[in-house]
Chain A
Amino acid sequence: MTNELPPGLAIQKVDERIMTLNVGPQHPGSGHMRIIVQIDGDYIVACDPDPGYVHRGEEKMAEYRNYITNIPHLERPVIHDSCNVLYPYVLGVEELLGIEVPERAKYVRVICSELNRCIYIMYWLAIYGIFLGHSTMFMWPAGDRELLIDLMEKISGARVTHAHFVPGGVRNDLPPNFEEVCLRQVNYFEKRIKEYAAVFYDNPILISRTENTGVLSREDAIRLGTTGSVLRASGVDYDLRIKEPYDVYEELDVHSPVMKEGDSYARSKIPWLDMLESCNIIKQALQKMPKSGSVRVKLKPNPKGKGFDSVYKRVESGRGSLGCHIVSDGKVEPYRLKLSVGSFRNLIALPYLLKGEKLGNMPSVYWSLNYWPVEADR
């Protein structure tokens, strides 16, 4: 390791047909990461993803802050999906401290988490659209996303990075009249995203570009340990909201979309179907939610765990399972905090999928992984 040149710069003896190409980190098509591809003519023969350009040391930072002051910075990896990033952490701390959360807070959390899932997926869809050269698919999601951002702003006061989940519940109760406004906006949102089918998902150009590219078989999806939309696009019916329901998901009727094809098209369609399902969940939660009651358990200042203990909690985020492993040593700060994020777990599929693919298909395969570089780096 010491004398070797960095990957992508090392001089390799190669066939004169093979060319090494660095895609990124500045190239917008790669996000905040570098993909080193070796191409033979138009075909990719090898690919080496090189993340880490937006590594911020969230895990190290968490060891220096107490369980409450960890909240605002832990949601930074995915600011659009901040509620879902905090969710496993909050659940983990609640188990460590032995807190029981009020019923209404659980419903508020589910609503926030589903709203955030849609906000994230809309952002991802906008990027996916623009990198396939479909500018309508950039403008529409970016605009319709505002409906839900508006709702989150009403709940938490911030458009993104809400810091709304706290151990013991949520920071504030819903504003007055929220149920009505939420139902109206979500209904309109649902109507809008259904229109995307005509312009994007049934579009023959999209279908011809993404169908049968980057096919991930069911066995490989399991073997590589992928998660979320990538896994479900390959025919594995695994959604933590159903398989290991947290908070009140058990009481809601959740149907997670699954497709069998495993190609880029299926991977890009699953998140869209997810949004429709999220609208459904939000409406159910609004109906079943207790109309009043406390939303937060008051904690003692500087809460701490009881001696050496560790928890591993996971939730279904916009990009798949998101786990949080907290080791406590009985002090006010976590001894070690590890985020196991969906993006990082799905990254392993990239070299596998790009091999043998045309270079022109790289953006469609890469973005169909529902990959968020900042989250993967943490």
Chain B
Amino acid sequence: MSTDTKQVVTEEKPVEEKPAAKPAAKPAAKPAAKPAAKPVELPAFEKSISDKVVEKFGDKIQVEFVKENRVGIKVNREDVHDVAEFIRDGLNYDHVESVSGVDYPQDKEIEVVYHIGSYSDSSLAKQILVLATRAQREENPIPGKDATKLPTLRDIFYSVEFHEREVFEMFGVYFTGHPDNRRLLLPEDWADLPPLRKDFAIKGR
């Protein structure tokens, strides 16, 4: 499993590097309406958040992008629980706004992206921390009974409960440790592929 992830990380780099390079060009073009012509370097506050995570975890994590109000972090599935715990206790984030799954059949992986925000810390009110991790993808999935598994973050962020249930039914990513892994939106007798996977084709298209 570890060799698999390593390989993917090296594969991913050239593709994932692009968004990281982007903010440099973007602030000059886009938020020009707000403060007059932003400097080209990365936004300072967001940079300090990502620096804290890097300082704590070193090369276990990968900073995907640092944009205005958004910091993207990518971790291996073994470390996602520890990183999330640090995000809550060390960085004062307190709730998850959204959990999206993204299917990458070409990498044989399914990415789960947590968008984490904070209500209690007013300096973080604008910020969203984007924590992404990847689960192994199966060609013929048996949801809950194959290798597509991730540790749940429900014991850290209570708010992910329904979001993770949705990701499980829509992508087949089983969250180990989640107290309630039943279906939420899909019919109980759904017997097809998890429908948001890329290989589930919709009729007539």
Contact of B205 among A64, A224, A336, A345 (CB under 8 A): A64
Complex alpha-carbon distance, A58 and B72, angstroms: 25
Most buried by B among A244, A312, A347: A312
Q: Assess whether B184 is interfacial by the CB under 8 Å rule.
A: yes
Q: B196 — which chain A residues lie within 8 A by C-beta?
A: 59-60
Complex alpha-carbon distance, A345 and B184, angstroms: 13
**A151-159, A255-263, A302-310 - the one binding chain B:** A302-310
Per-residue CB proximity of A1-34 to B under 8 Å, as 1/0? Answer: 1000011000000000000000000000000000
CB distance from B28 to the nearest CB of A (A): 10
CB distance from A178 to the nearest CB of B (A): 24
| In the complex, chain A residues 288-310 whose Cβ is within 8 Å of any chain B Cβ | 306-310
Q: Assess whether A253 is interfacial by the CB under 8 Å rule.
A: no
CB distance from B62 to the nearest CB of A (A): 14
CB distance from B146 to the nearest CB of A (A): 13
Q: B72 — which chain A residues lie within 8 A by C-beta?
A: 310
Q: Assess whether B186 is interfacial by the CB under 8 Å rule.
A: yes
CB distance from B155 to the nearest CB of A (A): 12
Q: A184 — which chain B residues lie within 8 A by C-beta?
A: none
Q: A60 — which chain B residues lie within 8 A by C-beta?
A: 195-196, 200, 202
Is there contact, CB below 8 Å, between B119 and A52?
Answer: no
Q: A222 — which chain B residues lie within 8 A by C-beta?
A: 94-95, 119-120
Q: Assess whether B44 is interfacial by the CB under 8 Å rule.
A: no
Q: B103 — which chain A residues lie within 8 A by C-beta?
A: 336
Question: Please, how many residues of chain A have a CB less than 8 angstroms from a CB on the other chain?
Answer: 47
Is there contact, CB below 8 Å, between B115 and A52?
Answer: no
Q: A224 — which chain B residues lie within 8 A by C-beta?
A: 95, 158-159
Is there contact, CB below 8 Å, between B69 and A1?
Answer: no
Complex alpha-carbon distance, A59 and B120, angstroms: 31
Is there contact, CB below 8 Å, between A225 and B158?
Answer: yes
Contact of A98 among B30, B94, B128, B205 (CB under 8 A): B30
Complex alpha-carbon distance, A236 and B96, angstroms: 16
Q: B100 — which chain A residues lie within 8 A by C-beta?
A: 325, 336, 338, 340
Is there contact, CB below 8 Å, between A309 and B98?
Answer: no
Per-residue CB proximity of B41-69 to A under 8 Å, as 1/0? Answer: 00000000000000000000000000001
Question: Given A1-B144, A325-B98, A335-B102, are A340 and B115 neighbors across the interface (CB < 8 Å)?
Answer: yes
Q: A59 — which chain B residues lie within 8 A by C-beta?
A: 196
| In the complex, chain B residues 99-158 whose Cβ is within 8 Å of any chain A Cβ | 100, 102-103, 113, 115, 119-120, 125-126, 128, 130, 143-144, 157-158
Contact of B185 among A64, A95, A325, A377 (CB under 8 A): A377
Is there contact, CB below 8 Å, between B159 and A345?
Answer: yes
Complex alpha-carbon distance, A98 and B27, angstroms: 10
Is there contact, CB below 8 Å, between A98 and B26?
Answer: yes
Q: A95 — which chain B residues lie within 8 A by C-beta?
A: 26, 30
Complex alpha-carbon distance, A312 and B67, angstroms: 11
Question: Given A100-B33, A244-B69, A250-B34, are A52 and B187 neighbors across the interface (CB < 8 Å)?
Answer: yes
Q: Assess whether A51 is interfacial by the CB under 8 Å rule.
A: yes
Complex alpha-carbon distance, A95 and B26, angstroms: 9
Complex alpha-carbon distance, A51 and B166, angstroms: 11
Is there contact, CB below 8 Å, between A348 and B161?
Answer: yes
| In the complex, chain A residues 144-165 whose Cβ is within 8 Å of any chain B Cβ | none
Given contacts A227-B97, A310-B113, A323-B97, 18 further A-B contacts (CB under 8 A): A1-B143, A1-B144, A52-B183, A60-B200, A98-B26, A100-B29, A103-B33, A223-B95, A225-B97, A244-B125, A306-B22, A308-B18, A310-B19, A310-B130, A312-B70, A325-B115, A327-B102, A336-B102
Give me the 3 closest cross-chain CB pairs, A-B, nearest first: A225-B159, A340-B98, A225-B95
Residues of A whose CB lies within 8 Å of any CB of B are 1, 6-7, 50-52, 55, 57, 59-61, 64, 95, 98, 100, 103, 222-225, 227, 231, 236, 238, 243-244, 250, 306-310, 312, 314, 321, 323, 325, 327, 335-336, 338, 340, 344-345, 347-348, 377
